[in-house]
Amino acid sequence: MTESSDIPRKQPSAFPGIKPIAIASDHAGFALKEALKLALGRWGVAFEDLGTHDEKSTDYPDYAHRVASGVADGRYRFGVLVCGTGYGMCMTANRHRGVRAATCTESFGARATRSHNDANVLCLGSRITGPGVAEDVLKTFLDTAFEGGRHANRVTKIEP
């Protein structure tokens, strides 16, 4: 793959007026990303795939920065990042002001990080979490609202 073919592919949203979510992976997360895209399509959730587009070795921070900057500037409602563990993606995404990324391995954590932390980026590890559980985690993340209340003040304290 050449450098130019790796430019994020922007597809027209099938849901005009509704902010899409951004999804991306490195090579290790590619297969799981593709599976999650099928699930998003089934659920009718608009998304943009910001790469990678094959299993050629690549660097996870490049994709985490793409997704996180789009969430931080309001282009995307949520981000989904998949690498081997979900950890490198999460560390990178959380360097962006306004991004609250969490690596989740099961739906209890996904529900908690949305309702208590107002997480806006979900990170998944393809070498830890299989496709069935990952799909369940993603569905829970998307379906859970931030509770606000006592959690709102705490979330504002996250930024240094």
Footprint of ligand RB5 on this chain (CB under 6 A)? 26, 28, 60, 83-85, 87-88
Residue placing its CB nearer to ligand RB5 in the complex, 83 or 122: 83
Q: Which is nearer to ligand RB5, 2 or 57 (CB)?
A: 57
Cα–Cα distance measured from residue 96 to residue 3, given in angstroms and rounded to the nearest whole number: 24
Examine the residue annotation and report whether 83 is marked as an active-site residue of this protein.
Answer: yes
CB of 102 to ligand RB5, least distance (A): 14
Per the residue annotation, which of 83, 90, 104, 123 is the catalytic one?
83
| Cβ pair 95, 1 in contact under 8 A | no
Shortest gap between Cβ of 92 and ligand RB5 (angstroms)?
A: 9
| Token pair 């529900």: residue | 111
Contacts of 114 (CB under 8 A, 6+ apart): 140, 141, 144, 145, 146
Catalytic residues: 83, 116
